[in-house]
């Protein structure tokens, strides 16, 4: 009763039982891929159910995350802390078995998947991270970092454009320890995919530079094992194993059909499937011999113990390297970072320089980078415009895996999702860069970073109509409001070198989510601050210019428009108006401050408030209220020099002064 098919049927039984009980879910993929999963997890996957965070474990990513019961079944059967009661609670509130796998909710889940193709991208990131970390820390006879990354992907994953982006790059980088299983079952939600997906998938991946194992019978355990063996012998190329499977395998009336893709089989079909598979155990019960055969706790503990012996030997021979590696695994910053960052911020305040904030960002990389060996990043073919290459940047290539910079090419979505994979892997701090308007290409990966609470710095330059002649296709308007509306994203739009340095420090020190840096193309004037103001920048909003007594008017601004607000304040003050200027580089940080601080900056009694930002205007209504006003964008930009555009759309000191006077009238 412990033949491969019997073990695989345990996955099928648990999957159809859980979906049936929830009356919701996707039984087809788990039942179709059960044979492949059984071979991989029982014969090849190196992992320890007793310690899901063991650094040298193989990574397993279920990119077709709708088949989540496949993963939950594997985790339960192999001995992770996922009791059968949680499988009974599949898709229920506060269970450890949500509809799609969620990182941090279930022991052993490496990444949140469901938006198709992104798990595949995360796996590419994990493979990059494994190789980069190995190049940095492994020594002869001391290969501490040495494991594979495996991913399951379906037709939908390969139809998504992101799969082209990341798999092309994976081939170029020669990620030989990445092995992907393509579940070629010919079925998607709408039915047989031959009506909309007729790609030569093996040919496509061969063209990317992958090793391709085509036309494998995904229900033949011996063939699957041989394919994995072959995949593991090619260290220079990632491998795609094309597995022909029957969706819903074992359900006699629904297998091979779209009816079993995204709906419960129904009680009658579940009963028929049990009979067809020869599975006699009641729902959610696993016969003892099968349970024992699946239990990976003992061999997992032994594998980790052997590795920890190697770690101890490494620590003895290379104590400094070992200490650095373990610091990075813990996610701790170097002890010197906080003081050095504070000193750099003071230096920026004292130097009185006025570059574009994209250049100020590069200066931050030059200042912070030497302090952070874990820093790794890249740009989507805009390194010179984003200013993301710093003095110690070294490109990662197929021949040189120990670098710290990835040339992602024109692959914004792929870059962001790969960066999430690198962040999830651990030991690295990743930054991704493109123009702010192109966040639209990678928006869902930013969202996934926020959902997974991953530290990922997004460097988005050319942040407004101020970029000029490239025109409205390249001028962001609505993007800042979208980012600010996304839970757990901190969006910084700094006004000068000082706020940029503070923003970078905040992004580096933040451990529970991503940070966006929205940076200017054009030079921005330096702002003077006293010690208290300098300290308050980190609070996201602060009083940059004040008046005697209670203000009659509060001007608030971000980024390039802060200087305009300061100039307007001069004009209004000269006319006898008491004006306060509030810089708001990060609204999320400001909103998280204690009520008394927020009241001190934006007193409720001062109703005349005017916000200015060269972006979608409506976001600022929450700060100005019904009595205030916003100078912002209500449409798209235009093609013209940046200065002409700013004047045309109302972003000058004179126009802001007029708007303030109208508000006070």
Catalytic residues: 412
Question: How far are the Cα atoms of 6, 154, 190, 226, 547 from residue 2, in angstroms, in the given order?
Answer: 6, 28, 36, 20, 80
Rg of the chain, C-alpha, whole Å: 28
Q: Which one, of 181, 175, 120, lies nearest residue 445 by Cα?
A: 120
Alpha helices in 369-434 (DSSP H): 383-386, 412-425
Tell me the CA end-to-end span of the chain in Å, nearest whole number. 86
DSSP assignment of 273-334 equals HHHHHT--SPTT---HHHHHHH--HHHHHHHHHHHHHHHHHHHHH-HHHHHHHHHHHHTPPP
Helix, strand, coil shares of the chain, percent, nearest 5, are 50, 15, 40
Cβ atoms of 248 and 27 closer than 8 Å? yes
The two three-digit tokens of residue 20, written as one number: 């049936």
Looking at the DSSP bridge assignments, the partners of residue 580 are 554
Main-chain phi, psi angles of 555, to 5 degrees: -100, 135
Q: Sheet containing 609-616: which strands, arranged edge to edge?
A: 542-545, 579-583, 553-557, 609-616, 629-633
d(CA 489, CA 447): 8
CA-CA-CA-CA torsion sign (166, 171, 175, 176):
positive
Looking at the DSSP bridge assignments, the partners of residue 212 are 240
Number of H helices, E strands in the chain: 27, 18
Q: Does residue 372 sit in helix, strand or coil? A: coil
d(CA 612, CA 608): 13
Q: Does residue 508 sit in helix, strand or coil? A: helix
Q: Pairing relation of β-strands 405-407 and 375-379?
A: parallel
Cβ atoms of 209 and 147 closer than 8 Å? no
């Amino acid at each position: 009763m412990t033949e491969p098919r019997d073990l695989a049927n345990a996955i099928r039984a648990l999957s159809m039982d859980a979906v049936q009980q929830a009356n919701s879910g996707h039984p087809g993929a788990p039942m179709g891929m059960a044979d492949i999963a059984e071979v991989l997890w029982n014969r090849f996957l190196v992992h320890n159910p007793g310690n899901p965070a063991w650094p040298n474990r193989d990574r397993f990513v279920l990119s077709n995350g709708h088949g989540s019961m496949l993963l939950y079944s594997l985790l339960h059967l192999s001995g992770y802390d996922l009791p059968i009661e949680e499988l009974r609670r599949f898709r229920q509130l506060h269970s450890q078995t949500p509809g799609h796998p969620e990182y941090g909710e279930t022991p052993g889940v490496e990444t949140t998947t469901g938006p198709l193709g992104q798990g595949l991208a995360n796996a590419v990131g994990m493979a990059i991270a494994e190789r980069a970390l190995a190049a940095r820390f492994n020594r002869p006879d001391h290969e501490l970092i040495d494991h594979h990354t495996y991913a399951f992907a379906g037709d939908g994953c390969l139809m998504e454009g992101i799969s082209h982006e990341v798999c092309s790059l994976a081939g170029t980088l020669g990620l030989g320890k990445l092995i992907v299983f393509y579940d070629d079952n010919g079925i998607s939600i709408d039915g047989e995919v031959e009506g909309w997906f007729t790609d030569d998938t093996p040919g496509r991946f061969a063209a990317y530079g992958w090793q391709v194992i085509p036309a494998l019978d995904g229900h033949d355990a011996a063939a699957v094992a041989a394919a994995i063996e072959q995949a593991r012998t090619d260290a220079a190329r990632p491998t795609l194993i094309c597995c022909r499977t029957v969706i819903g395998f074992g359900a006699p009336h629904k297998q091979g059909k779209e009816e079993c893709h995204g709906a419960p089989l129904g009680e009658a079909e579940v009963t028929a499937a049990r009979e067809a598979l020869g599975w006699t155990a009641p729902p959610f019960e696993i016969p003892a011999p099968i349970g024992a055969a699946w239990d990976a706790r003992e061999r997992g503990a032994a594998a980790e113990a052997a590795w920890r012996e190697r770690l101890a030997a490494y620590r003895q021979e290379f104590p400094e390297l070992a200490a650095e590696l373990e610091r990075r695994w813990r996610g701790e910053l170097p002890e010197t970072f906080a003081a050095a960052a504070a000193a750099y911020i003071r230096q920026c305040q004292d130097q009185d320089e006025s570059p574009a904030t994209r250049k100020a960002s590069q200066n931050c990389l030059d200042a912070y980078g030497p302090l952070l060996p874990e820093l790794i990043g890249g740009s989507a073919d805009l390194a010179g415009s984003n200013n993301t290459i710093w003095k110690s940047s070294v490109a990662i290539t197929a021949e040189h895996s120990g670098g710290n910079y990835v040339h992602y090419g024109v692959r914004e979505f792929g870059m962001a999702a790969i960066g999430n994979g690198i962040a999830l892997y651990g030991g690295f701090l990743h930054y991704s860069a493109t123009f702010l308007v192109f966040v639209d290409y990678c928006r869902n990966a930013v969202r996934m970073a926020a959902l997974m609470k991953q530290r990922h710095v997004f460097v988005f330059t050319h942040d407004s109509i101020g970029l000029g002649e490239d025109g409205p296709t390249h001028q962001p308007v609505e993007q800042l409001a979208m980012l600010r509306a996304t839970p757990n994203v901190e969006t910084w739009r700094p006004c000068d070198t000082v706020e940029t340095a503070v923003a970078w420090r905040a992004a580096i020190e933040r451990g529970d989510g991503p940070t966006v840096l929205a940076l200017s193309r054009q030079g921005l004037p330096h702002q003077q601050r006293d010690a208290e103001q300098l300290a308050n920048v980190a609070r996201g909003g602060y009083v940059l210019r004040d008046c005697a007594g209670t203000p009659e008017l509060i001007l608030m601004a971000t980024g390039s428009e802060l200087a305009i607000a300061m100039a307007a304040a001069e004009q209004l003050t000269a006319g006898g108006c008491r004006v306060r200027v509030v810089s708001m580089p990060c609204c999320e940080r400001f909103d998280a401050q204690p009520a008394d601080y927020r009241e001190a900056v934006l007193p409720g009694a001062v109703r005349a408030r005017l916000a200015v930002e060269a972006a979608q205007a409506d976001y600022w209504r929450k700060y100005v209220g019904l009595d205030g006003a916003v100078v912002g964008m209500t449409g798209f930009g235009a093609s013209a020099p940046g200065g002409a555009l700013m004047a045309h759309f109302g972003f000058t000191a004179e126009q802001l002064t007029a708007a303030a006077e109208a508000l006070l009238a």
